[in-house]
Amino acid sequence: MKVGYFFSILLSVLAQLSQAQYHYQNLMNYLESRMAVLEERITLWQEQNNRYNTDLKNFRHQAADLLEKLGKEHESLRGDLEGAGVRVDRVEREMDYIETKNPPKPCVKAADKMVEQRPVTKERKKKDEFFEVSVCTDIVSHIRAMKILKRLGSTKGVWTKDARTAKVYVFNGTYEDTLYEFKSVKELSASSGLSKGQQIILPSTWNGTGHAVYDGFLYYVTERSELQVIKFHLENRTLVDSAVLPVQDQLSVFSFNPETIVDLIADDEGLWALYTVGDTINLAKMDADTLDIEQMWDTACTRNNAEAAFFLCGTLYVVYNTRPPSRSKVQCVFDVNDMVTPEEAPLIYFPRRFAAHSSLKYNPVEKQVYAWDDGYQILYRMSLKKKLWTIMPPPEE
């Protein structure tokens, strides 16, 4: 019995071992098939990776070739543009030369007696009841030199000098109640900022860039309920007088500087004011003491494309902005005595600059214009000549 039982157990164990070996073989077969699939996928990935690497290298070579070609084309284009710029500058110089030799007729009012080049004698003045507003006989010939002093303050402003002193005054911006006083142009040039100047607080805010300094007094325009001109004593820091300006339209004098409704001008013969009637710039002679308006003129100069103006020896020079931008020239000239003929009216081109002038103030002692251009303080030294009527010989009897 025991032998049979043992034998049966042995048969059972052998059967289980045989079954286990069968399952083990199936498992191994499954694992081998999965490994084969993985090996196929790894091989495929390696092939794709090699292909991608090859394509990437080809793309890099193509991109490098294209960049090299673009670089060469860029250099060639830049060379062409530089050549075109040189040719444009040459054309501009030639046009300037042609316009100088054949200037357009300026906006001047010349009497018939001047066109005929007849001299003005004392007897004729008395006979024709001619009133000479300005006794100065100089007219601008050309710009002799240009000096950029520095860049200080806002893009728009005014810097000017009292012709009777060395003091320089700076108005920063187009709306403020503070101006800065420097002892000289040299001190302003050496200063690191407006804070180095002496601050002067005004009794009211000034508007635009049409201020003037004359004989120790400041004249500026303020906008309250009405347009007023203020006379301020610079040394005593006191308000001296004020007057309402009879300006109805209140349009800007210069279209390039819309903040300036009235441009005040000071010279050796007193105080002047520019204002607009319609699209035309008008000129008024003011009494510097009482602020009374003594005489008015229609200059026939248009405000369109005008950026600023300066005044000397009874002659107004209106500066216009031309194409290309940052070029400007005197395009309209008006003489209060009708003593400038169209033939002698100067055609003045300003050097290439930064933007447009916001102010031009002529100093009759130094014979130079104090200009503000995009925050730069610039000096233009003028060459003068005598007006034609002062040097003409007397007529033959």
Q: Residues 263-317: pLDDT tens digits?
A: 999 988 889 999 999 899 999 999 999 999 999 999 999 999 999 999 998 999 9
Rounded mean pLDDT, 370-392: 85
Say if domain 111-391 classifies as CATH 2.120.10: yes
Contact 113, 125 (CB under 8 A): no
Tokens of 375: 């925050």
The answer to whether residue 177 scores a pLDDT higher than 90 is yes
Model confidence, pTM = 0.68
Kindly state the average pLDDT of the residues 41-70. Answer: 88
What is the rounded CA–CA span in Å between residue 222 and residue 204?
7
pLDDT tens per residue across span 193-245: 898 899 999 999 999 999 999 989 999 999 877 889 999 999 999 999 999 98
What is the spatial distance between Cα 259 and Cα 26, in angstroms, rounded to a whole number? Answer: 98
- pLDDT-derived band at 335, boundaries 50, 70, 90: very high
- What is the mean pLDDT of the segment spanning 132-161? 87
Please indicate whether residue 326 or residue 116 has the higher confidence score (pLDDT): 326
Asked whether residue 363 carries a pLDDT value surpassing 80, the answer given is yes
Compute the distance between CA of residue 108 and CA of residue 90 in angstroms, rounded to an integer: 31
Over the stretch 83-125, which tens digit does the pLDDT of each residue have? 887 777 677 666 655 655 554 444 444 443 333 334 444 344 3
Domain chopping of the chain, boundaries? 1-102, 111-391
